[in-house]
Amino acid sequence: MDENAGHRLKRSLLKAGHLIGLFLAMAIICLPGFWIVLSSLRPTVEIMAKPPVWIPNEISFDAYVAMFSGVGQGGIPVLEYFRNSVIISVTSTVIALAVGMAGGYAFARYRFRGKTAIFLGFMLTRTVPGIALSLPLFFVYAKLGIIDTHFGMILAYVALNVPFTVWLIDGFFRQVPRDLAEAAQIDGCTRWQAFWQVEFPLARPGIASAGIFAFLISWNEFALASQLTRSTNSKTLPVGLLDYTAEFTIDWRGMCALAVVMIIPALTLTFIVQKHLVSGLTSGAVKG
């Protein structure tokens, strides 16, 4: 009897410990983001207050209104940065997807010599640190006169994204059984038709998540953008965020609001694709 009670006690203690651990881990993950959102909604006086004010007395959207009404607080043209970010990220994603689909299909469906070597070579181009790549790119772009243009940034981001889209899409095409396309071809489809009508629809959710992955990389990239952009012509949001720290007094609330604006699209998109993302990366890499 006594042993039984002891065992039960131990079990419930373990369970409580597990719950507490889980709660703490989740709290640490969520807290920084939560704090930023909260700070963007409260008046600057409260952020600066000593002793600290924990619970906001009033909530206001002033920071956001100021940011989107022309030249924002601290003279930062957030609207232009936002526009640049959207144009550059979306265009480079679409192109990287098209290139990645061609490459991924080739890796998944054809056998050829040096396949692993080529694949590894693609991945190695991705390991080049952005800042090391930015030096020669800066020089080349300056010669070609495409520094501080959308075209230059899009080109750079397509190259940045192609290795990942190839990897992911390769994984998704592998999950589509080869027999399906072959059956379609026997029924009279050309290979092109079989691809678009059989294999593509099946791999579509995966391809969509590869697209979102690529979008996030372009949306969040900083090292290259900080050197290859100069003005509101092409500066993106991550570079714009740095504008705030260049000044002597930091407008914390404005920065927090900008941070929230940057994170919301990323957040929404990732929620949509989280399921496919992991299965794509694992099946591409593990099944090899």
Partner 1 sequence: MRGWKPAPHVLLLLPAFIVLAAVVVVPLMLSLYSSFTPFRLTRPDSIYTFIGFRNYERLLTDKDFWIAFGRTVLLLTFALNLEMVLGLLLALLVEKASRGQRILRTIMMFPMMFSPILVGFQFKFMFNDNIGLVNNALQSLGLTDRAIPWLIDGQLAFISILIAEIWSSTAVFAIFILAGLMAMPREPLEAAKVDGCTPLQSFRYVTWPFVMPFAFIAMTIRSLDIARAYDIVKIMTDGGPAGRTEILWKLIARTAYSDARMGLANAMGYIAILLSILFTLLFFRQLAKARQQVGAEW
Site residues for partner 1, window 52-71 (CB under 8 A)? 52, 54
Pick the closer one to partner 1 by CB: 8 or 115.
Answer: 115
Binder among 18, 178, 204, 230 for partner 1 (CB under 8 A):
18
262 binds partner 1, rule: CB under 8 A: yes
Residue of 279, 257, 259, 277 lying closest to 40 (CA atoms) = 257
Pick the closer one to partner 1 by CB: 15 or 204.
Answer: 15
146 binds partner 1, rule: CB under 8 A: no
Dihedral angle of Cα 66, 67, 73, 76, to the nearest 10 degrees: -150
Binder among 105, 172, 173, 215 for partner 1 (CB under 8 A):
105
Q: Closest approach of Cβ 274 to partner 1, in Å?
A: 6
User: What count of other Cβ atoms lies within 10 Å of the Cβ of residue 173?
Assistant: 25
248 binds partner 1, rule: CB under 8 A: no
Q: Give the three-class secondary structure for 235.
A: coil
Segment near partner 1 (CB under 8 A); pick from 59-67, 176-184, 199-207, 269-277: 269-277
SS3 content of the chain, % helix, strand, coil (to 5): 80, 0, 20
Dihedral angle of Cα 67, 134, 117, 103, to the nearest 10 degrees: 40
Pick the closer one to partner 1 by CB: 63 or 256.
Answer: 256
123 binds partner 1, rule: CB under 8 A: yes
Q: Closest approach of Cβ 231 to partner 1, in Å?
A: 16
- By CB under 8 A, the count of residues binding partner 1 is 89
288 binds partner 1, rule: CB under 8 A: yes
245 binds partner 1, rule: CB under 8 A: yes
78 binds partner 1, rule: CB under 8 A: no
Alpha-carbon Rg for the chain in angstroms: 25
Q: Closest approach of Cβ 244 to partner 1, in Å?
A: 9
Contact 230, 153 (CB under 8 A): no
The span from the CA of 162 to the CA of 100, in Å, is 6
Dihedral angle of Cα 156, 157, 160, 161, to the nearest 10 degrees: -150
